[in-house]
Amino acid sequence: MMGERILRGKPMIRYAGRTLLLVVLAASCAALFAQFRPEEIAQREVLEEFLRTAEIVRYEELGQGVTKPFKLFLRKGDRESAAVWKNPRGIQYGFLEGWQFEIAAYRLDKLIGLNMVPPAVERRFQNRVGALVLWAENENSLDDLFEKRIRIPDEVADHTQKMSWLTRAWDSLIANEDRNQQNILYTKDWRVILIDHSRAFRATGRFTKQLMFGRRGLKMSMRGTPFLFKRLPRWFVDRITGLTFESVKGAVGGSLTNREVRAILARRDLLLEEIGEMIREQGEDAVLY
């Protein structure tokens, strides 16, 4: 009989009579599900160092976004790349902004193995400290698909739909208030890249008692219907189940406060609770893949 039990204060979901094991998936296995290619994932440390130390050849203001970001063109040795620098902090346009949340999102992405958030580091620019995020090469944003009426090819429609549900689960875990059609990017081969996380990691009451998406989510459609995460990969559920305060804090470091880390774990519990409900109603194979 499917059900849920509490072990040492953490919800453990039973799938058709067997408890989900808290396993750490091998990096090679996680790469199979990655939106960044395995060779890109293997270069993360190199890319982080490049972002920290490369020469700023030139820069320009980006017209998009309310956080007034800059596009920096970097060069070090024979490597050249672009990156986005931003340093919003505090209440802006009615929302709490934090450049440090860009770094936290990348580090938590690495810990979980989501592999959808570009590398981000702390870097000073124009005598101000902020987040420098590697430029995400892409073909279109979700907004472009609607504006240009671009049809997702049939052969990748199932994949892109699953990534949409996974994005909602990710944003629910990190309490991202600002997911929109402009910051969901598609590569030429239809991999999905997620950018802009400066309005994430909320820690106030409602963001620890209710998820951004899901059956009882804070965000609803214009018709008042919820944005669901209907199917999710088993590895993602495994990874978030195994999160602890120590593992998250060790990954994000000073980019998040202790309160913000505890808020992640509170939302993790809500997320697992909803996944458990779905499994009890529909069966494991209908929910997890």
Question: Could you report the per-residue pLDDT of 159-176, keeping only the tens digit for each?
Answer: 999 999 999 999 999 999
pLDDT of residue 198: 96
pLDDT digits (tens, 9 = 90+) for 49-89: 999 999 999 999 987 655 689 999 999 999 999 999 999 88
Element at 250 (helix H, strand E): helix 245-252
pLDDT digits (tens, 9 = 90+) for 192-231: 999 999 999 999 999 999 999 999 999 999 899 999 999 9
pLDDT of residue 65: 58
Residue in 152, 151, 285, 180 with CA at minimum distance from that of residue 230: 285
What are the backbone angles phi and psi of residue 252, rounded to the nearest 5°?
A: -85, -20
Q: Mean pLDDT in the chain?
A: 88
- Whether the Cβ atoms of residue 145 and residue 103 lie closer than 8 Å to each other: no
- Whether the Cβ atoms of residue 240 and residue 109 lie closer than 8 Å to each other: no
pLDDT of residue 95: 77
Instruction: Tell me the three state secondary structure of residue 157.
Output: helix
Mean pLDDT across 278-284: 98
> How far apart (Å, rounded) are the C-alpha atoms in residues 214 and 51?
36
Q: What's the gap between Cα 181 and its chain centre?
A: 15
pLDDT digits (tens, 9 = 90+) for 174-190: 999 999 999 999 999 99
pLDDT of residue 63: 72
> How far apart (Å, rounded) are the C-alpha atoms in residues 167 and 114?
10
Tally of CB atoms within 10 A around 57:
11
- Whether the Cβ atoms of residue 111 and residue 247 lie closer than 8 Å to each other: yes
Residue found by looking up tokens 């549900």 in the block: 165
CA-based diameter of the chain, in Å?
Answer: 62
pLDDT digits (tens, 9 = 90+) for 90-147: 887 777 899 999 999 999 999 999 999 999 999 999 999 999 999 998 999 999 999 9
Residue in 233, 243, 253 with CA at minimum distance from that of residue 107: 253
**pTM for the model:** 0.87
pLDDT digits (tens, 9 = 90+) for 41-60: 999 999 999 999 999 999 99
pLDDT of residue 34: 56
